[in-house]
Amino acid sequence: MTTPDYAEKIPNNVSLNEDRRLQRALESWQPNFLSWWESMGPTLPTQDVYLRTAVNVGREGWAQFGHVPMRDYRWGIFLAERDGDRRIAFGAHKGEPAWQKVPGEYRAELQRLIVIQGDTEPASVEQQRNLGATAPSLYDLRNLFQVNVEEGRHLWAMVYLLHAYFGREGREEAEELLHRNSGSEDSPRILGAFNEETPDWLSFYMFTYFTDRDGKYQLGTLKESAFDPLSRTCEFMLKEEAHHMMVGTTGVDRVVERTAQVMVENDTDDVAAHGAIPLPVIQKYINFHYSVSLDLFGGETSTNVANYYTAGLKGRWLEERRKDDHLLASDAMMVDALTDGEIAQTEVAALIGLNTDLRREYIADCAGGVKRWNRILEQAGLPQRLYLPHIAFNRRVGAFAPIEASPAGERLSAGEWEARKGQWLPTDTDKTFVRSLMQPVYQRGKIAAWIAPPRNGINGQPFDYDYVHLI
């Protein structure tokens, strides 16, 4: 562990200057990254933004706040502190020292896991690139850009691993991460949800709540990896990810709060006429983002994931807190399944059900947001409640992909689904309405009418701070 050197082209705590070849390889990737940022990153021109920059990983503080021009952001490579005694916590290698190099027999699988994670990071920047044009406040605009630069840094984190540990193939994959683009016909991003557009700010909050949260759970499993550099990278990424979760959670809070306020003030559910977002529209956005994010966890059962676990490549969420043998070779679990065409559960070997295990952890976490949002409605004295739709609703991956189900979990024929899906998923009319509200508010301390201001600013600054200087 070295102290980060900010005089270097690439800030890092991995002693990059001791490995000239690696340093040169990353320095030659850097201009490609910057031109990707210029052409696929945020489109709103800005002078500078009040950003948090990761400068170290230590407990005494790892971030520095200040106004910086976004293209001068110091994207760096930071791994959590190394624990010299770290042992593998699960699988066939349990108890052995964590790996500092990639074992030959797991090379292809590890590379694939890193590429898939890496692909999501720039994808979300691409999905969100036009949102600056319609930000509800300078505070929100700043948060968007913070999320964007950190996803850029997460790309750096994965590219570092590819360059440092996977040789020529790793370098080629690092190039590909800049060539695939969200929503592209010819070379789309790897995972479905990362090819959906994020056309408005309600979608942005839902994305950071539901889809970024999938990222949190994936990083959590990679943090358990026997491959120590991957583990340490993910551990540090999770620190940054917490801010993305906060943006999503409080973003939806504030939309619900404003809607509730307008409902009470005008004694009506029909708040659209008053420039707020009706609760049924918020519910449809929840339904959409939650269901596409559930798909990101893959099929209910997976032999690949069982193999990753046994090999020690990818653990469970909070692996070390689990009270079992961490081998799971003789355990069983229930997973969601379609049995005789009905929504049901079936028993499988615990190892092949690990996707389900992770998805359940995620679902329990998602329920926390709904609780918060319902508390806001309750405190406003309103009887309406928001909810998470049934696990079989609107699924395109896994056991329920072949069927259609309502948010309450009743099976529907294809015809019924077609006729009724507009009640549950955002329609073109809903999206057009939400978009019509998206007028930028760039004056300090002002906020759009469809959302409440935040309770706290960033880094102790007030809401009316000059978070962003536009051109």
Q: How many CB atoms lie within 10 A of CB 68?
A: 18
Q: Which is nearer to Fe ion, 244 or 316 (CB)?
A: 244
Pick the piece of the chain touching Fe ion (CB under 5 A) from 67-75, 143-151, 156-164, 406-414. 143-151
Q: Which is nearer to Fe ion, 250 or 283 (CB)?
A: 250
Q: Please state the closest distance from residue 294 (CB atom) to Fe ion, in A.
A: 18
Q: How far is CA 46 from CA 36, 43, 122, in A?
A: 17, 9, 20
Size of the site for Fe ion (CB under 5 A): 6
Pick the piece of the chain touching Fe ion (CB under 5 A) from 16-24, 75-83, 242-250, 282-290. 242-250
Q: Please state the closest distance from residue 155 (CB atom) to Fe ion, in A.
A: 8
- Single-letter residue type at 259: T
**Separation between Cα atoms, residue 27 and residue 370, nearest integer Å:** 44
Q: Please state the closest distance from residue 410 (CB atom) to Fe ion, in A.
A: 34
Pick the piece of the chain touching Fe ion (CB under 5 A) from 129-137, 148-156, 317-325, 402-410. 148-156
Pick the piece of the chain touching Fe ion (CB under 5 A) from 61-69, 129-137, 138-146, 239-247. 239-247
Q: Please state the closest distance from residue 275 (CB atom) to Fe ion, in A.
A: 30
Assigned token pair, 34: 């910057």
Span 5-64, contacts to Fe ion by CB under 5 A = none
**Separation between Cα atoms, residue 386 and residue 371, nearest integer Å:** 8
Q: Which is nearer to Fe ion, 166 or 207 (CB)?
A: 207
Q: Please state the closest distance from residue 143 (CB atom) to Fe ion, in A.
A: 12
Q: Which is nearer to Fe ion, 247 or 271 (CB)?
A: 247
- Residue 129, interface with Fe ion (CB under 5 A)? no
Q: Which is nearer to Fe ion, 241 or 430 (CB)?
A: 241
Q: Which is nearer to Fe ion, 62 or 106 (CB)?
A: 62
- Residue 244, interface with Fe ion (CB under 5 A)? yes
Span 151-180, contacts to Fe ion by CB under 5 A = 151, 154
Contact map string, positions 403 to 442, toward Fe ion, x by CB under 5 A: ----------------------------------------
Q: Which is nearer to Fe ion, 121 or 173 (CB)?
A: 121
Q: Which is nearer to Fe ion, 151 or 257 (CB)?
A: 151
Pick the piece of the chain touching Fe ion (CB under 5 A) from 118-126, 155-163, 247-255, 327-335. 118-126
Assigned token pair, 417: 């689904």
Pick the piece of the chain touching Fe ion (CB under 5 A) from 125-133, 149-157, 185-193, 422-430. 149-157
**Separation between Cα atoms, residue 12 and residue 46, nearest integer Å:** 26
Q: Which is nearer to Fe ion, 111 or 208 (CB)?
A: 208
Pick the piece of the chain touching Fe ion (CB under 5 A) from 117-125, 180-188, 397-405, 421-429. 117-125
- The DSSP bridge partners found for residue 335 are 346
Q: How many CB atoms lie within 10 A of CB 171?
A: 17
Pick the piece of the chain touching Fe ion (CB under 5 A) from 115-123, 250-258, 310-318, 422-430. 115-123
Q: Please state the closest distance from residue 463 (CB atom) to Fe ion, in A.
A: 23
- Residue 212, interface with Fe ion (CB under 5 A)? yes
- The DSSP bridge partners found for residue 48 are 469
Q: Which is nearer to Fe ion, 202 or 281 (CB)?
A: 202
Span 355-384, contacts to Fe ion by CB under 5 A = none
SS (H, E, C) the chain: CCCCCCCCCCCECCCHHHCHHHHHHHHHHHHHHHHHHHHHCCCCCEEEEEEEEECCCCCCCCEEEEEECHHHCCCCECCCCCCCCCECCCCCCCCCECECCCCHHHHHHHHHHHHHHHHHHHHHHHHCCCHHHHCCCHHHHHHHHHHHHHHHHHHHHHHHHHHHHCHHHHHHHHHHHHHCCCCCCCCCCCCHHHHCCCCCHHHHHHHHHHHHHHHHHHHHHHHCCCEHHHHHHHHHHHHHHHHHHHHHHHHHHHHHHHHHHHHHHHCCCCCHHHCCCCHHHHHHHHHHHHHHHHHCCCCCCCHHHHHHHHHCCCCCCCHHHCCCCCCCCCCEEEEEEEECCEEEEEEEEHHHHHHHHHHHHHHHHHHHHHHHHHHHHHHCCCCCCCCCCCCCCCCCCCCCCCCEECCCCCEECHHHHHHHHHHCCCCHHHHHHHHHHCCCCCCCCCCCCCCCCCCCCCCCCCCCCCCEEEC
Q: Please state the closest distance from residue 320 (CB atom) to Fe ion, in A.
A: 23
Q: Which is nearer to Fe ion, 223 or 244 (CB)?
A: 244
Q: Which is nearer to Fe ion, 121 or 404 (CB)?
A: 121
Q: Please state the closest distance from residue 112 (CB atom) to Fe ion, in A.
A: 18
Q: Please state the closest distance from residue 12 (CB atom) to Fe ion, in A.
A: 18
Q: Which residues bind Fe ion (CB under 5 A)?
A: 121, 151, 154, 212, 241, 244
